[in-house]
Structure 1
């Protein structure tokens, strides 16, 4: 996988993945994550994750709605988590290959551009 800048990732669209391709290696993922600031590789190196603390429960719901709309546009769907009413997190991975593909980094870069009401 070629490491891309955040701007390059945002300019791309997720491509359908039906499997049959190798997921990126943990090192490729770490290299790409250097472009995505606050995202981290999960312990199993098969997903990337980012966490936020939002202003309140409804701020989390608004953020998730924005994530959902973006995901539908790109045809790539994250796992969304809300805990303790304002701790939100997003996990990305390509289900069809059981690991990470460029699509995950594309969507992460786009999610980073969404408005979010953070705890003050």
Structure 2
């Protein structure tokens, strides 16, 4: 069984967080160390440690992460100018909390992560 994380406690509202969205499948809250003017973490309410641990039964919750991201981007006023969604996986991917989560970043030009020249 996966080890509980700080995100599980935020989901259950046992520790404070600036929650901007919560429903039966996901919880979204502002990152405490924002990397952009808007930096929100969107997490499934069930503990899935990494992308490598996803199963077919997680598809509804994981797909819901993206639809909720679009709704939050709209309510934050960043949908029109654009935003970035990032999911890190394991140490080399930059994952720090082992409860799968998606970063919603926006509010300023972020620049390209990867170049697709010649692709």
State the TM-score, normalized to the length of structure 1. 0.32
Larger RCO, structures 1/2 (Cα 8 Å, 6+ apart): 1
Higher helix share: 1
Q: Which has the larger radius of gyration?
A: 2
